[in-house]
Amino acid sequence: MNDVELFLAHSIELEREAARRYEELAAGMQTEGNRELQSFFARMGANSRKHLAQAVARSGFRDVPVLKSHEFRWPEGVAPETAGWAGVDALIDAATAVQLALDSERRGHAYYQALAVSSTDPEVKVLARSFADEEAEHVAELEKWLVRCTAA
Ligand code: ZN
C-alpha cells in the first residue's frame, strides 16, 4: 500500500472497529462486575478513537477517501483486528475478554508492521511504523492483564 490517504482510510476503519470491540468488552466486564477491567477496556476504546484523530490531524491530510466495504484491501479480505471476532458473549469472563483483545491487538500490530516493511511510500512507512509501535504497547499491556486474569 503506497498511498498515504488510502493507508489512513484503512487505519480509520481498523481503529473504529477496535473502538467498537473495546466498548463491547467494557460492557461485558460491567455484566461480569469487573470494574477495573471495564474501565481499562473503556479507556482503550477511547484511545483508539483519539489516537487516530490525532494521526490524521498531524499528517495534515484532509482528503482521506471514504471506502466502501469491497474497496478495502485487507491482507485476508477482512480488517485484521476484526478477524476471528465472533462478538462478545454476554457472560464472557475476564481472561477470555483479555485474550480476545490481545489476539486482535496482535493482528493489528502484524498488519502495521508488514506495511512498515513492505510499503515503498516513505510517509506510509513512517506512519505504519508509529502505529505498529503503538499496537506493540497495547499488546504488552494486554499480556500483563492476561497474566493477572489467569493467575486470579
Ligand atoms: Zn491497538
24 CA distance to ligand 1 middle (Å): 15
| pLDDT score for 48 | 87
- Over the chain, what is the mean pLDDT? 86
Distance 58 CA to ligand 1 centre (A): 19
Phi-psi category of residue 36: left, alpha or beta, with phi > 0 → left and psi -120 to 50 → alpha = alpha
Q: What is the pTM of this model?
A: 0.85
Residue tagged 503503538 (cell numbers): 134
pLDDT of residue 59: 67
Amino acid identity for residue 102 in this structure:
L
User: Is the model's pLDDT at 65 over the cut of 70?
Assistant: yes
Residue 130 pLDDT: 92
- Say how many Å lie between the CA of residue 149 and the centre of ligand 1: 19
pLDDT value of residue 36: 95
Contact 44, 101 (CB under 8 A): yes
**What is the CB neighbour count within 10 angstroms for residue 14?**
25
DSSP category for residue 77: S
Among residues 141, 47, 35, which one has the least CA distance to residue 98? 141
Q: How far is the CA of 90 from the centre of ligand 1 (A)?
A: 23
Residue 73, pLDDT above cutoff 90:
no
- Decide if 136 contacts 109 (C-beta within 8 A): yes
Whether pLDDT at 31 is above 90: no
d(CA 146, CA 57): 33
Gap between the Cα atoms of 26 and 23, Å rounded = 5
Distance (angstroms) between ligand 1 centre and the Cα of 48 equals: 7
Whether 88 shows a pLDDT value over 80: the answer reads no
Per-residue pLDDT band at 152 (split at 50, 70, 90): low
In the predicted model, is pLDDT for residue 83 greater than 70? no
Query: Over 70: is that where the pLDDT of 78 sits?
Result: no
- The better pLDDT of the pair 51, 81 is held by 51
**Residue-wise pLDDT tens digits, 100-129:** 999 999 999 999 999 999 999 999 999 999
Percent of the chain with pLDDT over 70: 87
**Amino acid sitting at position 73:** R
Position with higher pLDDT, 113 vs 71: 113
The span from the CA of 47 to the CA of 33, in Å, is 22
Q: Are 103 and 82 a contacting pair, CB within 8 Å?
A: no
